[in-house]
Amino acid sequence: MTDPRGIQTRAEWTAALQALRDRAGVSYDVLVERCGKWSSVSKSTLQMMVTGKSFPRASTVRLFVEACDEHDAQPWLDARARVAAADVTLKRTRTPPGRQIRTREPVPRAAGSFQDREVAARLREAAEQDGTVVLTQVLAGMGGVGKTQLAAAYARQAWSEGVGLLVWVNASSRDAIVAAYTDAALKLGLAGADEKDPERSAREFLSWAETVTGLWWLVVLDDVQRAGDLNGLWPPAAESAAAGQVLVTTRLREAALADAGRRTVEVSVFTPQEARAYLQAKLGDKAPAEQADALASALGMLPLALAQAAAYIYNRDIAIGNYLELLAERLLRDIVPEPNNLTDDHQKIITATWELSIDQAGQARPAGLARPLLQLASVLDPAGIPQQALSSPPGLAYLASALGPGARTVDGETVDEALGVLHRYSLVDHDRASTYREVRGLSNNGTARGDSQWKTG
């Protein structure tokens, strides 16, 4: 059946899509090409749609139908709307704002000039508001490509759309995951939740997530470093998109993370167009297309490196050409990066941009504090820390000793001022509005001197 006007059920919808593709008689690769290179429709998206494993957005339906040489897409859009309205598994109940629950761990705020990237469209494609059966997605890629920012943007959108429970998890260790689930169980008021018994509380939360009805929940597991940390802690795969979703960010590409029912979304560097748009949004007239493209190419399209370069150019009020000269000088020095998950070229770029930014931040008032403040922060929680930890008596004593005898007095106000400088140079994220973690690092990629082990993801 290829006449969409009689479609009423999900099964009829799937059968009609399969018949339409069979009639077109072309491969999925050809269909993707016909959809257009900027459409963000992938081969897997079309395969999942045609086989009934996902329910597509209207925009995807239109592109697919037209790619199958069907000239009038409107009857197919009408059929899709009928199916979505009739199938309860494709509906999410919007939670009234007063009843929404967000656990203590804060969602990272949006980076300056955040780009709505092509990969973000693929992420939304598999978990659209009107439903999908792919409810666990794994964002995988090397450090510095923006996985955490993509996950945070998705979480903020879910919150605005009425997700009932949002759990953001610093998943760098098993203990951290258990603690986050315990916090969720306590916030939900589950009968078996007890902060003195985290393992039991975590099990209570997972049991609740498996059995709850009428509530849309989202768990984000950010920065999973060992697949084994999630043994027994994977949130359940819900049977409908009206229930729950899981989003994972990681540098790992392991089979254990790509189990049945989980979809891996590869996150790479910016596309040339995204890199240019980012630099022009940050630098305006200082980034004409040709110069922006040259800088993006020199930095390997790596989002983290572009953020640091743009902050440096803006704060010093120099031309892109001047920055490229400084970068070339730095890259020619004998810099040996610390081992991590970046490619050699990307690590060398990160090291060079990081060192340039630290040197310049160290010259700003209060002079000399940039590097020791980053060194102090690097031995604390990589997920972010309270500013008070840096301005505590031991912290102030360390910073004073780093400046040496005869230097200015270092107090809480000085630390606050220095954090503002580091924030301006995109070396940390300093958020005074945050309740628990005012200071977050912007790289866990390391530097030549090990000044920071923090992350953007």
Indicate the burial class of 85 (C-beta count within 10 angstroms; 0-12, 13-18, 19 or more): exposed
- Looking at the structure, tell me whether residues 129 and 207 fall in a common domain: yes
Cα separation, 179 vs 195, whole angstroms: 9
Q: Which structural domain, as residue segments, surrounds residue 421?
A: 272-441
Q: Which two tokens stand for residue 176?
A: 């951290």
Q: Where are the beta strands (DSSP E) in 159-266?
A: 165-170, 217-224, 244-250, 262-266
- Looking at the structure, tell me whether residues 42 and 126 fall in a common domain: no
- Looking at the structure, tell me whether residues 222 and 331 fall in a common domain: no
The pLDDT of residue 24: 92
Q: Are 24 and 16 in contact (CB under 8 A)?
A: no
Decide: helix, strand or coil at residue 140.
strand
- Looking at the structure, tell me whether residues 115 and 262 fall in a common domain: yes
pLDDT per residue over 202-231, tens digit each? 999 988 887 777 788 999 999 898 888 999
Is there a domain that residue 250 lies in?
yes
Radius of gyration in angstroms for the set of CA atoms belonging to the chain, rounded to a whole number: 24
Where does 284-343 have alpha helices with state H? 289-298, 303-316, 320-331
Q: Are 224 and 248 in contact (CB under 8 A)?
A: yes
Q: Are 157 and 218 in contact (CB under 8 A)?
A: no
- Looking at the structure, tell me whether residues 197 and 340 fall in a common domain: no
- Looking at the structure, tell me whether residues 252 and 294 fall in a common domain: no
Is there a domain that residue 74 lies in?
yes
Among 266, 291, 311, identify where a domain stops: 266
Among 196, 231, 266, identify where a domain stops: 266
Cα separation, 139 vs 157, whole angstroms: 17
Let me know how long the chain is.
457
Rounded to the nearest 5°, which phi and psi values hold at 430? Answer: -110, 105
Rounded to the nearest 5°, which phi and psi values hold at 225? Answer: -105, -20
The alpha carbon of 67 is separated from its chain's Cα centroid by a whole number of angstroms, namely 31
- Looking at the structure, tell me whether residues 234 and 283 fall in a common domain: no
The pLDDT of residue 415: 86
Beta strands 217-224 and 136-140: pairing type?
Answer: unpaired
Summary count for the chain: helices (H), strands (E):
18, 8
- Looking at the structure, tell me whether residues 245 and 158 fall in a common domain: yes
- Looking at the structure, tell me whether residues 228 and 374 fall in a common domain: no
- Looking at the structure, tell me whether residues 33 and 111 fall in a common domain: no
Is there a domain that residue 449 lies in?
no
Cα separation, 45 vs 311, whole angstroms: 37
Is there a domain that residue 92 lies in?
no
The low-confidence residues of the chain, meaning pLDDT below 70, are 1-2, 37-41, 88-93, 111-116, 125-134, 237-242, 259-261, 331-350, 352-354, 381-383, 407, 426, 433-437, 440-457
Is there a domain that residue 29 lies in?
yes
The pLDDT of residue 21: 94
Cα separation, 105 vs 124, whole angstroms: 23
Number of compact structural domains in the chain: 3
Among 231, 246, 266, identify where a domain stops: 266
The domain spanning residue 150 has which CATH number?
A: 3.40.50.300
Is there a domain that residue 128 lies in?
yes
- Looking at the structure, tell me whether residues 355 and 370 fall in a common domain: yes
Is there a domain that residue 62 lies in?
yes
- Looking at the structure, tell me whether residues 227 and 355 fall in a common domain: no
Q: Which two tokens stand for residue 113?
A: 């000039």
Handedness of CA 379, 384, 386, 388 (dihedral sign): positive
Is there a domain that residue 52 lies in?
yes
